[in-house]
Amino acid sequence: MEKKIYEKPAITKHHSGFMNKFGSSPVTTPKSEVDGVSVNAIADQYGSPVFVLSERRIRENFRNTLRTFKTRYPKVQYAWSYKTNYLNAVCSIFHQEGSWAEVVSEFEYDRARKLGIPGKYIIFNGPDKSEQALLKAIEDGAKIHVDHFDELYKIIELSEKTEKKPQLAIRVNMDTGIYPKWDRFGFNYENGEAMEALRRIVMQPTLKLIGLHTHIGTYMMSAEAYRIAARKMVVLANELFTKYETKLDYIDMGGGFPSNNTLKGQYLQAEQVLPTIEDFADAVTSELFRISYHGSDMPTLILESGRSLIDDAGFLISTIIANKRLSDGKKATIMDGGVNILFTSFWYKHKISPAQPTGLSTENSTIYGPLCMNIDVLREDIVLPNLKVGDRVVIHHVGAYNMTQWMQFITLRPNIVMVMEDGTTELIRESEDLEYIMSREKLPAKLSEFKL
Ligand SMILES: *Cc1c(COP(=O)(O)O)cnc(C)c1O
């Protein structure tokens, strides 16, 4: 039997309005492994901090979500949102599962092509598509989602010079009852701009209209918003059909379903306040059935979920650097993973677990990262057991956006490891080193020498 940890007795002040130690959640439960692979073994081998992704969890999330939609609507196609996590290993899992690619820049477009995705399976979103990028996308037969009239005019001009017909959808923004409105992308529904853009595309013989797109927001906490959005998309589709006899191949409802992270300022845990994926699927699909096409002509429902598919498949393993007391006596803990690599800690209260068994006494503390910057705070207030220097912790639900939005600031970006379905681990992105970072710099000759 393993020896229990000895902790010296401590008296903790009870703050009125806060739960006492018997009422708080079990933060002492260790997270010692990811899919059966020891957290400490991963950190010993790949260093700390280190990101860990679970292949199994990604596939499970994908399959469960797809099944939820497919059992409610006959034609469903997923497109993986590259910006959420565009590591090749991650994209390849989604593509193996049948996902197309959803990209929002030429850089992401090129990544998808390089990974072997044919143009016709790439959805090209975003407000900034250069002429060169558009030409490429037209040649490849990619699905171009037009963001604004200036882009449409550019495409019309290009379409007169190319053999291939651009395959177009428009992005639509609308009032879904969620404020502030997301109206900076695409054409507005309520003021008639969306219908006007559609009319121009339909009237232009060098263009082909294939779909409608909307992405109503991110971390959406309302299934009702999707019901409203789907209804408005169907109104547009039905109007196109009656006025111009144009049928669409697809209606793309974008992404935006929340992940199980708790937002800052949200009192209850995410699981207690968020709609389920079934709620979202019911809302979207029940509206799509109102389309006036005949049976087998139903448009495909495209979905571009990002964070909800991968957030809980990502973990950050970090190591305790030091414990100290702030001037008011509050405990502060410094870890080696900071906001430079954990961008989402700016708006999420990430769950943090010890990686090994700890004692039972807990204390409210602030968790800082390693940066010499005041903003480097991972959790303002978190009740944790006593953690010693060198102990490891696991930060949960970090698979979305951190590995694309992280910054090279003050220190280098760490390794990313994937725990494979068979229990092996693979390094999927190597940590950066000084040489890699400096290789992009040029030192003007007159600055290359100095005497101190
Ligand atoms: C970012 C983005 C997504 C993914 O959003 P999530 O909130 O992560 O699901 C999907 N579609 C478009 C157009 C996006 O910009």
Judged by phi (left if over 0) then psi (alpha if -120 to 50, else beta), residue 246 lies in: beta
Pairwise CA distance, residues 437 & 411, whole Å: 11
Kindly give the number of the ligand 1 atom that is closest to the alpha carbon of 305: 9
Nearest to 232 by CA among 283, 303, 179: 283
pLDDT of 11: 72
Cα(452) to ligand 1 centroid in Å equals 52
428 closest CA partner among 414, 413, 417: 417
The per-residue pLDDT string of the chain (452 residues; one tens digit each, 9 = 90 and over) reads 677 778 777 776 665 555 555 555 556 789 999 999 999 999 999 999 999 999 999 999 999 999 999 999 999 999 999 999 999 999 999 999 999 999 999 999 999 999 999 999 999 999 999 999 999 999 999 999 999 999 999 999 999 999 999 999 999 999 999 888 889 999 999 999 999 999 999 999 999 999 999 999 999 999 999 999 999 999 999 999 999 999 999 999 999 999 989 998 888 888 888 999 999 999 999 999 999 998 789 999 999 999 999 999 999 999 999 999 999 999 999 999 999 999 999 999 999 999 999 988 889 999 999 999 999 999 999 999 999 999 999 999 999 999 999 999 999 999 999 999 999 999 999 999 999 999 999 999 999 999 99
What is the pLDDT at residue 4?
77
- With CA atoms as reference, report the closest residue to 157 among 134, 124, 177: 134
CATH classification code of 33-53+312-433: 2.40.37.10
Atom number, ligand 1, closest to the C-alpha of residue 217: 7
Q: Where are the alpha helices (DSSP H) in 47-177?
A: 55-70, 88-96, 106-114, 131-140, 149-159
* CB distance 104 to ligand 1 below 6 Å: yes
Q: How far is CA 2 from CA 5, 154, 234, in A?
A: 9, 70, 62
Question: Residue type at 196?
Answer: E
CA–CA dist 348, 92 (Å, integer): 27
What pLDDT, on a 0 to 100 scale, did the predictor assign at position 19? Answer: 57
213 lines ligand 1 (CB under 6 A): no
Say how far apart CA 239 and CA 198 lie, in whole Å.
Answer: 10
* Nearest CA among 407, 397, 401, 399 for reference residue 375: 407
| Interacting residues of 343 by C-beta distance below 8 A, sequence separation 6+ | 401, 402, 405, 406, 407
Classify 314 as helix, strand or coil: strand
> Which mutation among 62, 77, 80, 215 tests ligand 1's pocket best, with the greatest number of atoms within 8 A of CB?
215
Which residue lies with its CA nearest to atom 3 of ligand 1?
Answer: 255
Ligand 1 site, residue 147, Cβ cutoff 6 A: no
Can you give the residue ranges of every domain in the chain? 33-53+312-433, 56-309
pLDDT attached to residue 18: 54
Residue 34 DSSP code: E
User: Two tokens at 372?
Assistant: 């010499």
Q: Is the CB of 84 under 6 A from ligand 1?
A: yes
SS3 state at 402: helix
pTM, to two decimals: 0.94
Would 33-53+312-433 and 56-309 be classified into the same CATH topology?
no
382 with 396: CB under 8 angstroms?
Answer: no
Reference 231, options 269, 189, 184, 171; nearest CA is 189
**Which one of 1.10.1270.20, 3.40.50.720, 3.20.20.10, 3.40.605.10 gives the CATH number of domain 56-309?**
3.20.20.10
218, 263, 403: which to mutate for ligand 1, most atoms within 8 A of CB?
A: 218
Ligand 1 centroid–CA 241 distance in Å is 28
Per-residue confidence (pLDDT) for residue 1, from 0 to 100: 64
Write out the H or E segment, with its range, that includes residue 38: strand 37-38
